[in-house]
Structure 1
Amino acid sequence: MAANLLSNPIISPSFLVHQLSAQGKSKRITPCSFNFRGPKCAVDTPYEGNISKFPRVNVWDPYKRLGITTDASEEEVWSARNFLLSQYAGHERSAESIEAAFEKLLMSSFRNRKKTKINLKTRLKKKVEESPPWVKNLLSFVEVPPTVIILRRLFLFAFMACWSVMNSSEAGPAFQVALSLAACIYFLNDKTKSLPRAAIIGFGALVVGWICGSFLVPLIPSFLLQPTWTLELLTSLVAYAFMFLGCTFLK
């Protein structure tokens, strides 16, 4: 091309120099030499290929990592965790970071609850220690069994009460009261390992319940009672309650 330009007498030397320099530059410019970078925004979510990456993976504070405040409720913590997992489920490291922050907050909440329970027990124990001697002696005979035992015995005595009410028009509750007393003594004997002590507590609960029922039942307005509900039946219902309390919470 340079030989053709030199052989043409019409082309000036300055034009020739300009064309040659342009030709040299064009050889150095290739499509691969362009380094184009689009505009970058600080809030854009980074990408690894086509998978979105959690932008707060390395944030140390679990609250800031999940994007919630320090006074967020447990429901808000769960909502933030579920939302972030649905957004970044395809990125393994992001999901692990979200789960780690959530577990840290969950363990912190568990420890706080445990401390609260311990503080309540400590306060209750302190109040008992500061109470009068007769209160201490009275509480020494009381214990709280597991919830399952309480529910089982409550169901038994409630069944006896319903049985007595259903048979009120046919016969009195003597048989049901006898069965309830036997069950009360059995439970107390299983707890105290002493049949005489269990019998004393069981009979005592029956007598106290019957006396209290004899005073309380007449105070109930008559329009609240059924015609078949006798004084004996209503008194036995109070006795069932006292026997339940005696065999469940006394020791």
Structure 2
Amino acid sequence: MSDQNPYEKLGVSEDASFDEIQDARNRLLEQYSGDTKRLEMINVAYDAILMDRLRMRQEGKIKVPERIRFPERLVQAPAKESPTKSELSNAWLQRIIDKPTPRDVLLPGAWYLGLSAISVFYQAGGDQVLQLALVLGVGIGIYFLNRKEGKFGRAVLLTLLGLIVGLITGGLVAGLLVPQMTFISMTANQFSTVLTFILLWLISSFLR
């Protein structure tokens, strides 16, 4: 093997590409792993080929790629940046908040406005009318939310959450505002119902 030229020692032709030379060297290093003398001979042959290619380049016979002249230079891909908290927050909001069309706002708004008017001005029915209006309001909210993306369970959850928050908040606020609203005759239950309708309208219009 000592009489062979560097190309023959690696088992490649003199016009072999750099990739072929590199593969041959790696294959031989793996094949003779543990044989120090043979490994040294392989590396010497590889270095001799590199020097021969550089000489040929200086003579203008070939163009040596950068990876032959600088095999230790590794091109590292730029690290992928992790999304910031602000970007994650914006993505979460985009999944929750909708950009409704005027129709998406006005149509449920008209329904809830009508239910609010019935709740305030039709006092003869008492609390039964309010309960019926709330049931209709929940159904309307579920319908319009489900119509956007077809997620019925999500629509039910958001609507019921709006109902609970609206009734609780309305009950607390009614005790403060209703006694001062002398310009209109409204009970605490009516005020709470109207406030709930406003919240359900916001949810069905601006959430998805």
| TM-score range for the pair, normalised by the shorter chain length | 0.5 to 0.7
Give the corresponding residue for 2:27.
none
Q: What amino acid sits opposite 1:234 in the alignment?
A: F
Q: Which has the larger radius of gyration?
A: 1
Which structure has more relative contact order (CA 8 Å, sep 6+)? It is 2
Tell me the equivalent position of 2:132: 175
Q: What amino acid maps onto 1:229 in structure 2?
A: M
Determine the structure 2 residue equivalent to 1:198. 155
8 Å CA contact 1:169, 1:228 repeated in 2 = no
In the alignment of these two chains, the number of paired residues is: 123
**Cα deviations by residue, 1:130-176 (Å, 9 ceiling, x for unpaired):** 84855653453001211122112111111110011111243221111
Question: 2:99 matched to 1:151?
Answer: no
User: For the structure 1 residues 226 and 170, does the alpha-carbon distance in structure 2 shift closer, same or farther, using more than 3 Å as the test?
Assistant: farther
Q: Does 1:240 align with 2:197?
A: yes
Superposed CA RMSD in Å reads 2.3
Question: Which letter maps to 1:206?
Answer: L
Matched, 1:229 2:186: yes
Note if contact 2:141-2:201 (Cα within 8 Å) is conserved in structure 1. yes
Q: 1:137 corresponds to which letter in structure 2?
A: W
Q: Which runs of 4+ in 1 moved over 3 A?
A: 129-136, 225-228
The answer as to whether partners of 1:181 and 1:206 remain within 8 angstroms in 2 is: yes
* Mapped contact 1:192–1:198 kept (Cα < 8 A): no
CA pair 235-135 structure 1, distance change in 2 beyond 3 A: farther
Q: Relative to 1, partners in 2 of residues 1:132 and 1:230: Cα closer, same or farther, differing over 3 Å?
A: farther
* 2:108/2:144 contact within 8 Å kept: no
TM-score for both structures, normalised by structure 1: 0.44
Shift in alpha-carbon separation, 1:222–1:249, aligned structure 2, 3 A: same
Once the two structures are superposed, residues 19-64 of structure 1 have per-residue CA deviations (whole angstroms, 9 ceiling, x without a partner) of xxxxxxxxxxxxxxxxxxxxxxxxxxxxxxxxxxxxxxxxxxxxxx
Question: Which residue of 2 is the match for residue 163 of structure 1?
Answer: 118
Deviation at 1:221, TM superposition (A): 5.5
Could you tell me how far 1:190 is from its partner in structure 2?
A: 1.1
Residue 205 of structure 1 contacts residue 246 of structure 1 at CA under 8 Å; is this kept in 2?
yes
Give the AA of the match of 2:96.
F
Consecutive unaligned residues of structure 2, counting only runs of 5 or more, are: 1-83
Map of 1:83-232 to 2, 5 A cutoff? 131=86, 133-134=88-89, 137-172=92-127, 173-220=130-177, 222-225=179-182, 228-232=185-189
Closer, same or farther in 2 for the Cα pair 1:200/1:169, shift >3 Å?
same
Distance of 1:194 and 1:170 partners within structure 2: 35
Report the residue type matching 1:250 in the other structure: L
* 1:58-107 deviation digits (Å, cap 9, x = unpaired): xxxxxxxxxxxxxxxxxxxxxxxxxxxxxxxxxxxxxxxxxxxxxxxxxx
Between the aligned residues of both structures, percent identity stands at: 20
